[in-house]
Structure 1
Amino acid sequence: MATLVSSSRAEAVGRAEANAPFLRSSIAAFPAIAASFVEEGSDAAVGKALSITGESVAEQLRRQRHALALAVALADISNEKPLEWVTATLSDFADKAMDEALRAAMLERVPDEEPRGLAVLALGKLGSGELNYSSDVDLVLLFDPATLPRRPRDEPGEAAVRYGRRFIELMQQRTPDGYVARVDLRLRPSPEVTPIVLPAGAAISYYESSALPWERAAFIRARAAAGDLDLGGSFLQEIRPFIWRRALDFGAIQEIRDISLRIRDHYAQGQQFGPGYDLKRGRGGIREAEFFTQVQQLVHGGREPELRAPATLDALAALARTGRLEAEVAQAIGDAYRMLRTAEHRIQMIDDRQEHRLPADSEALEAVARLHGSESAAAFLEILAPQVEAVGVQFDALVSDRDERLSNDPDILRSELTSMGFEEVEEAFRRVADWRSGRARSLRSPPAREAFEAMLPTLMRSVAAGPDPIRSLNRFGDIVDKLSSGVNLYRLLSARPKLADLLSLILAHAPPLAEQLGRRPTLLDGLIDESSFAPPPDAAELADLFLVATRGEPFDIALDRLRRMVGERRFALGVQLLAAHRDPIVIAEGYSDLAEAAVVALTELVSQEFRRSHGDVPGGELVVLGLGRLGGRALTHASDLDLIYLFDAPPGTQSNGAKPLPATDYYNRLASRIGAALGTPTATGPLYDVDTRLRPQGAQGMLAVSLAAFEEYQRNEAWTWEHMALCRARPLTGSDAARSKVRRLICSILERPSDPARIRADAAAMREEMARHKPPAGPLDIKLGPGGLVDFEFTVHTLQLTSRIGLDPRLEVALEALVSDGLIDDGADPDLRLLSRMLVVLRLVGSKAMEPAEQSRRLVATLCGYEDWPSLLAATDVARQRIAARWARVKGDE
């Protein structure tokens, strides 16, 4: 009898040498293991493998693992030991190796401390003690900041990550002795943003509030496997209610249905049994057997603790024993699972690779069959086929009918995306697959995913019809990723196709709005409320609203709240423009009023905070002057703010606070803080870019200048171009008296007698200089190009300075006076309005060269009041010719 057994074992060694390169090399490296197996059996061979030593922990673990792989393989292919023994032996070694590796990692940094406070949770097949022959180990690493030993200057989190990195290195770094196990930490919460070792408390909060449905299934098999077992055990005890819910509600059923659909459709469709079949992911494969079992556990395990067995075969037995699964079904699934796992091991023994597919190559498949002990590949497939079908039939029953939606089948989905009009089908396919992975917070609940799937076809069709669809999908992806909860939005988009169309319009045509949504997805909330399409309030009303909303808040919170409110209204104005709710010129006025209100409110908030330390300057006041498009109430979505800070204070005064400052220092520091509040990007996003180079002496001058110094400079030193800029200056802040005083001063400067010929010559020279340094971005640059808005502004400002008529910062008001006096034709105003509309629209829809994408051109034309793009271009060309002719006449070329 002993001779027969020894002969059988020797035959298994021969099969291993003949058909599996990895096992052949292992026998050569560890002949004593093979000899022990033949002479004494599997247990003795395993014992000998685990007794191997090395000069370091890393070397010893690698040599033990290599020798153990040989001993287990021989026990397996000889059928001396069952599957449960094979997987348990591999799992036990992994536990032991992880414990030793973690201990070594910690002792390297704190040799005088007993390792504690860091736990290794095993999930997946290691968690259930069913580790593959060549498998990753799915782990979650947790630490307790209160008990983790660390060096004096190490923060707990920093120390934990150091230990974790060294642990991973000891486990998976390949050396001449091989490796211990490949470590996969992607099952931890939000792996793309979280450290590799998590505080236990934070992890508990995550699983109690934010975890995904698939994580429930994953944690069925979780256990504390190494390190601080008490810490790991207490953590699992804390999150048990997350895994095992007592009440089976509609949401739980939907979770099960959704996960089932995604596993079947995403991994299995189109995979026919035969050469190349995926034993893990194919229809009727290992994953379906496991998930079929876990579904039954999720349904009933909350009320029946005896069903919570982590191992698949144990769970099937428990389900049959309690009557929750028919005994015949449990037996069929169990038998299939054993056979599928055994076949998977045969494949992995060939080259010690984490492979799950049957070889497509006939010779390679024959080698796997011979290693198993089958006569041929055909005989091997004949054994597997009924097992695969048994699992597939049972898993089919989990999949119910579903509503119309984009397919989960990769090939069908690609076909659907192609028919929608996507040219870069693979990019679109990858984006949809990423959303369906469940990683985004906004797609974690079953209702959110259902709503998302319901609205996805409509959104994808709209996006495909727009310009640069992949970029639009990426922008939408930013929104999906950053939403904390998406169910209401997705339901709304599904229920209100017009809103879905509007979102597609933004994604397709308005990069600035899409980027805003990417930074702050909550801006979409405003689209739900019809008030976002109401006419915007004026600047004074808005400023009051902002100050009331921030009253009583700490300074930092008040600033952030004000920034959010401004951002929301700015976004709403862009949406109004894109959706044709308002004339672009009205939108430009709205942008300007919003910016003015922001300047007024932020100036007040910053001044209040500044007074806490420095008090007030008796008799002093700060006036913020708006110039350019802000002064002329003609801002676009992309405009920066041209500002000059002026102060009026008695000579020699200083502030009366705890830290007094001379008036000049006081107002310069205050102006600097106002500029920072306006222009510094924060978590709520950037507000405005601020340009203060129009102040006296430009960037070389003081940030805030006294009113007297400003007057002196403007009267005696300023260049003609600075007076042209002053034509659009408008006081924004300060008391009524202060603003009136500044306005009178500006008018008196501009109304001074002047030399018209010199002004025209200076203006012409300056325009030529600007053309050299700031050439048009393209032929459609209606701002800097010939006959564009800059030429128009130069024309108007030259006429204002030479005639001293129409001195109003708003061009349309100035034109009315100039037309009345016969200084310019009455066609100037329509030309200004056409180009202004185009500028406002193209700043939202066009590129830097103001060239809209082909698909956006009709939209641009419509928003500007024309039927189509050629009609708009024709009208623009005529207007630009007239503007160029006016400028030529004014500067004296005619």
Structure 2
Amino acid sequence: MLPGPISAHWQHIQATIADAYSHHGFDWLNLWQSLEHEQQQRLQKVLCLSDYVVDALPHQGEYFAHALRTDTLSQPLKRGDIRQWLNEFSQDAKTDDDWHAALRHLRRRAMVHIIWRDLLRLGNTLDTTRVLSELADECVCRSLDFLATDLIARHGKPLSKESGEEQQMLVLGMGKLGAYELNLSSDIDLIFTYPDSGDTSGPKVISNQEYFVKLGQKLIQALDKHTVDGFVFRTDMRLRPYGQSGPLVMNFTSLENYYESQGRDWERYAMVKARVMNGETSLAAKELLSILRPFTYRVYVDYSAFASLRSMKDMINAEVRRRGLQDNVKLGSGGIREVEFIVQAFQLIRGGQDRLLQTRELCRVLDILAAEGYLPIEACEQLRSAYLFLRDSEHAIQALADEQTQQLPQNELDQARIAWAMNCSDWPTYLQQLSTHRQNVSHHFAQIVANDEDSEQDSSALNHAWLDLWHGELTGAAADEFLAEHPCANAKEVQDKLSTFRESRAVLNMQQVGRERLEELMPLLLQKLWLQTAPLTTLERLIPLLEAVLRRTAYLVLLKENPQALKQLVRLCNASSWVAEYITQTPLLLDELLDVTSLYRLPSAAELREELHLRLLRIDPDDLEQQMEQLRQFVRAHKLRAAACEVMEALTLMQVSDYLTWLAEVTLTTVMNLAWQQMVDKYGYPTDANNDAVAEPEFLILGYGKVGGLEISYSSDLDLVFIHNGIAGKATNGERSLDNGVFYTRMGQRMVHILTTQTRSGDLYEVDLRLRPSGNSGMIVTSLKAFSEYQEKHAWTWEHQALVRARILCGQAALAAATKKVREGILSRPRNIPALREEVRAMRQKMRDNLGSKDTSGQQFHLKQDAGGIVDIEFLVQYGVLAWSHQHPALLAVTDNMRLLDAFAQVGLMNPQDRQTLQETYLSYRAETHRRALQKQSLLLDYDTQSRLGFDVRRSDVIRLWKLWLEADI
């Protein structure tokens, strides 16, 4: 008897498959009637539970008809069967396209066998994951052999420079593939490497690196490319060193250097499951694993793994909240990922001392944890049971349509199908079992990785007095007594503002659940508010944020359940209107308030790169929209952290500016790499003079202005110039070939699109490209030759002034060196000093006239544009570099004003006292601009404010030194 919603679906399936079989010349009805009753029942169940099988059977109708009649599908699938089938499909394969077709025919046949046994529970969970992994192994290993044949014919065999021995590319299977734990729709994570550098034997000699890059690209295409026959395995190379921006293949020495100097905690987790897929017992494989093992497993008991585990889990939890993945059996609370984290944490903590734990398969490690007493036996049994149930659920979800998802279905039919696949009578029964397993996992996860720090809990959180205050029911003597005990500035105005908010349409129209959550939060919030120096102002800043999240009540729960986050929110809104508005625009930034330690500690540039890499690693490389969202969320989160540090005076101005500059650089590097990869996927690689593919972009980003001078603020735009060094007259090697110059121009356009497009999280950065050669009328990406010629022959003096702060932000090393040489050559040209002084003064006067306060009485002072302001100091420095760098090359080494002023003093152009005066003035001006930005205030200062801040004296000093340098006859 079919479950209710599936009965109608079965009628649809019969019609669909009968029609498909007739198109392939087979009679479905005849096949069905030839089966015994038990065979029909099995076939009916599998077809009802898997649309993929419904679609696959007719494609190899004769084979599957025989397999159904003989019950072959019920037999265990062996690696030898897979090998034999591939031999059958590929026996006439001569070209790469032939091989691609053979692999895809193999996948279809093998997947039907695997799904059949899995859905009918003829094999256990680990049988399914094992044979899926062996299918991947066979496809990878056999593809390497086939695809290398053509390369060897053209280039010869790759040989070691030192030993002369033939080299082999080793393929590391990572993650589930490495542990023989693939699921039905897994992508496969791979890393390519080879032992020694050298060259091929010819006829057309290329380096081993080039050879293995070509082989790796061919392997990825063989597995990942979508053809009329589908695909084999989605292939993900982002776990390799440096991620998407790194070389596709590295030799052992480079690999070892990377993991010794730059390997990160999440990469240690990934390496726990790493396995050499081709030739695991070879000497080269053993050498490779001896390199990776010390990085993965520490010789001491490494409890730091818990901290990194918490950090990674926090990131995943934030992603779950952002993307609504609570019903995801992998990423949701108590899901597969938490079981994996528990097991891998013990492996990293103890694995260096207990080699038994250096085991890839999760269930085997659970057995070891129980046997060795690392975890109670009952806990290991519950985790194992939950893991297998969750993996079976994952397979049931993916068997529906061969989609890479772990999300529970929302429609009644698919829910009934999942319940039936899991041998549950109905969907509620399945959900109950799932809930029990997930609760067990969450409990053990919390027990194992719980933070030891005491959480801040206020025992009076639900005190009636605070609730009465929120409800507007605290009156008379009770109110007087309360305010005497809890004094509050502007208490009457605060209560009036609360009343207006409470009676607003947004609050009155809330659904019951949301209203209950607001009721629980408000007493807690009011306690924090009452402690602030400016409670009325703080409340005025908080109310727009509360209104923004009234319909997204998960944020109300977040603040209610995390007193520390609520405390930080109120503190920051008290300190800065900019912070309040920033969080209101993007409420998901509330996640950043959960960990006070990270909120007030700004990471290094390397840590920023790691975090962004991790964020993007979990996104489909083809999902540009989600990549853009993650980039914006990343930048906004870190700008918030910088602002938090600044308003709480946890860091100096220069530390915050450095950090915001690093943030921009890391983001730009990632955007450049994303744009490069997307362009390569579409048009192929640019080629060099020998028509060989260029493996990395001959491209760089030159930063001007604040980003060049390491002085970025929160709302700074980015003054950029894009430069390429592609060979003119050559084109890309893809099917849709482009001229190299056009390729890089479109790459620049793609970068601008990624940076400036408005998504639901806003833009990433405002970008100003007007400093490129010929300004807005010039090419968006310029060649190095054109850039050099423009600077040499056509640039105005103000453009050379801008070049003083020009700094290479990211890009190819060789191009960076050449661009640096051009910059230094232009800046160090001897100049006519009187003419230079006149041009600088004229440009400065033009800016004052257009952008200054127009005040001649001294009552107003525009901090940036008026005489004696920030721009005067910047122009003075730029003038000095243009005037004297031909005599003092030290002036070319740095781009920020503070260190350039140091350089002036060091070479004797400025006395130390003047240097100190300008530096202190410049820092105090910039600190005030930051403070005003955080309070949403104008840069126009009145006379009293100038005097209070001492800027009247500082302004006089700047004017004096301006006259000394640019108006006196020196």
TM-score (norm. length: structure 2): 0.50
Counterpart position of 2:622: none
Q: CA deviation at 1:80?
A: 1.2
Counterpart position of 1:459: none
Matched, 1:498 2:529: no
Q: CA deviation at 1:119?
A: 1.3
Counterpart position of 2:44: 14
Describe how 1:576-615 pairs up with structure 2 within 5 A.
Answer: none
Q: CA deviation at 1:97?
A: 0.6
Describe how 1:680-699 pairs up with structure 2 within 5 A.
Answer: none
Counterpart position of 2:146: 104
Deviation readout 1:66-94 (Å, 9 max, x if unpaired)? 11111000011111111121111110110
In structure 1, what is the Cα distance between the partners aligned to 2:587 and 2:125? 40
Which of 269, 284, 287 aligns to 2:337? It is: 287
Counterpart position of 1:176: 228
Aligned residues of 1:838 and 1:864 also touching (Cα < 8 A): no
Deviation readout 1:383-426 (Å, 9 max, x if unpaired)? 4333222222211212323558999x988679869764123316
Specify the code of the residue in structure 2 equivalent to 1:126. L
Aligned residues of 1:135 and 1:181 also touching (Cα < 8 A): yes
Q: CA deviation at 1:251?
A: 3.2
Counterpart position of 1:324: 374
Q: For residues 774 and 240 of structure 1, do their structure 2 counterparts lie closer, same or farther at Cα, with a shift above 3 Å needed?
A: closer
Q: CA deviation at 1:355?
A: 0.8
In structure 2, what is the Cα distance between the partners aligned to 1:39 and 1:438? 63
In structure 2, what is the Cα distance between the partners aligned to 1:174 and 1:723? 61
In structure 2, what is the Cα distance between the partners aligned to 1:243 and 1:727? 58
Deviation readout 1:280-316 (Å, 9 max, x if unpaired)? 1122211112222222222322222122221111111
In terms of mean alpha carbon deviation, does 427-436 or 33-42 score higher? 427-436
Counterpart position of 1:53: 89
Which of 398, 417, 420 aligns to 1:348? It is: 398
Specify the code of the residue in structure 2 equivalent to 1:97. C
Aligned residues of 1:92 and 1:129 also touching (Cα < 8 A): yes
Which of 433, 441, 457 aligns to 2:606? It is: 441
Specify the code of the residue in structure 2 equivalent to 1:226. N
Specify the code of the residue in structure 1 equivalent to 2:606. R
Where does structure 1 lack aligned partners over 5 or more consecutive residues? 450-467, 481-489, 522-566, 579-639, 641-671, 696-701, 711-720, 729-766, 794-835, 880-894
Specify the code of the residue in structure 2 equivalent to 1:855. K
Q: For residues 329 and 863 of structure 1, do their structure 2 counterparts lie closer, same or farther at Cα, with a shift above 3 Å needed?
A: farther
Describe how 1:740-779 pairs up with structure 2 within 5 A.
Answer: 776-778=849-851
In structure 1, what is the Cα distance between the partners aligned to 2:89 and 2:947? 84
Aligned residues of 2:104 and 2:230 also touching (Cα < 8 A): yes
TM-score (norm. length: structure 1): 0.53
Aligned residues of 1:143 and 1:198 also touching (Cα < 8 A): yes
Counterpart position of 1:33: 64
In terms of mean alpha carbon deviation, does 377-386 or 74-83 score higher? 377-386
In structure 2, what is the Cα distance between the partners aligned to 1:227 and 1:256? 32
Counterpart position of 2:169: 118
Deviation readout 1:796-829 (Å, 9 max, x if unpaired)? xxxxxxxxxxxxxxxxxxxxxxxxxxxxxxxxxx
Q: CA deviation at 1:176?
A: 1.2
Describe how 1:227-626 pairs up with structure 2 within 5 A.
Answer: 230-259=283-312, 262-263=315-316, 265-266=317-318, 277-401=327-451, 403=453, 420=573, 421=580, 422-425=583-586, 428=589, 441-442=606-607, 498-500=649-651, 502=653, 507=657, 515=661
Specify the code of the residue in structure 1 equivalent to 2:102. Q
Specify the code of the residue in structure 2 equivalent to 1:225. M
Counterpart position of 2:248: 196
Q: CA deviation at 1:262?
A: 4.9
Counterpart position of 2:194: 143
User: SS state of the match for residue 246, structure 1?
Assistant: coil
Counterpart position of 1:86: 128
Aligned residues of 2:326 and 2:333 also touching (Cα < 8 A): no
Specify the code of the residue in structure 1 equivalent to 2:249. V
In terms of mean alpha carbon deviation, does 21-30 or 177-186 score higher? 21-30
Q: CA deviation at 1:180?
A: 0.8
In structure 1, what is the Cα distance between the partners aligned to 2:428 and 2:837? 90
Aligned residues of 2:198 and 2:208 also touching (Cα < 8 A): no
In structure 1, what is the Cα distance between the partners aligned to 2:867 and 2:101? 79
Aligned residues of 2:861 and 2:941 also touching (Cα < 8 A): no
Instruction: From the CA coordinates, give the structure whose radius of gyration is larger.
Output: 1
Matched, 1:226 2:274: no
Q: CA deviation at 1:122?
A: 0.8
Aligned residues of 1:212 and 1:438 also touching (Cα < 8 A): no
Q: CA deviation at 1:192?
A: 4.1
In structure 2, what is the Cα distance between the partners aligned to 1:207 and 1:149? 27
Between the two proteins, what is the percent identity of the paired residues? 20
Aligned residues of 2:181 and 2:361 also touching (Cα < 8 A): yes
Deviation readout 1:214-253 (Å, 9 max, x if unpaired)? 2222211111013786434321222212222231155345
Aligned residues of 1:117 and 1:148 also touching (Cα < 8 A): no
Specify the code of the residue in structure 1 equivalent to 2:607. S
Aligned residues of 2:397 and 2:418 also touching (Cα < 8 A): yes
In structure 2, what is the Cα distance between the partners aligned to 1:143 and 1:208? 18
Deviation readout 1:130-155 (Å, 9 max, x if unpaired)? 11111011111113343674764534
User: SS state of the match for residue 938, structure 2?
Assistant: helix
Q: CA deviation at 1:261?
A: 5.1
User: SS state of the match for residue 241, structure 2?
Assistant: coil
Q: CA deviation at 1:107?
A: 2.8
Which of 106, 112, 117 aligns to 1:70? It is: 112
Aligned residues of 1:221 and 1:310 also touching (Cα < 8 A): yes
Deviation readout 1:469-491 (Å, 9 max, x if unpaired)? 998866699x99xxxxxxxxx9x
Which of 129, 132, 150 aligns to 2:180? It is: 129
Aligned residues of 1:679 and 1:688 also touching (Cα < 8 A): no
Q: CA deviation at 1:343?
A: 1.1
User: SS state of the match for residue 117, structure 1?
Assistant: coil
Q: CA deviation at 1:335?
A: 1.8
Q: For residues 411 and 16 of structure 1, do their structure 2 counterparts lie closer, same or farther at Cα, with a shift above 3 Å needed?
A: farther
Q: For residues 689 and 781 of structure 1, do their structure 2 counterparts lie closer, same or farther at Cα, with a shift above 3 Å needed?
A: farther
In structure 2, what is the Cα distance between the partners aligned to 1:231 and 1:864? 71
In structure 1, what is the Cα distance between the partners aligned to 2:207 and 2:193? 15
Q: CA deviation at 1:212?
A: 1.7
In structure 1, what is the Cα distance between the partners aligned to 2:919 and 2:340? 62
The number of aligned residues is 579
Q: For residues 97 and 476 of structure 1, do their structure 2 counterparts lie closer, same or farther at Cα, with a shift above 3 Å needed?
A: same
Q: For residues 413 and 232 of structure 1, do their structure 2 counterparts lie closer, same or farther at Cα, with a shift above 3 Å needed?
A: farther
In structure 1, what is the Cα distance between the partners aligned to 2:604 and 2:184? 29
User: SS state of the match for residue 584, structure 2?
Assistant: coil
Q: CA deviation at 1:51?
A: 5.5
User: SS state of the match for residue 366, structure 2?
Assistant: helix
Which of 199, 216, 232 aligns to 2:268? It is: 216
Specify the code of the residue in structure 1 equivalent to 2:168. G
Q: For residues 329 and 470 of structure 1, do their structure 2 counterparts lie closer, same or farther at Cα, with a shift above 3 Å needed?
A: closer
Counterpart position of 1:95: 137
Which of 848, 851, 857 aligns to 2:938? It is: 857
Q: CA deviation at 1:276?
A: 6.8
Q: For residues 67 and 346 of structure 1, do their structure 2 counterparts lie closer, same or farther at Cα, with a shift above 3 Å needed?
A: same
Specify the code of the residue in structure 2 equivalent to 1:300. R
Deviation readout 1:299-344 (Å, 9 max, x if unpaired)? 3222221222211111112222333333222222212211111111
Counterpart position of 1:624: none
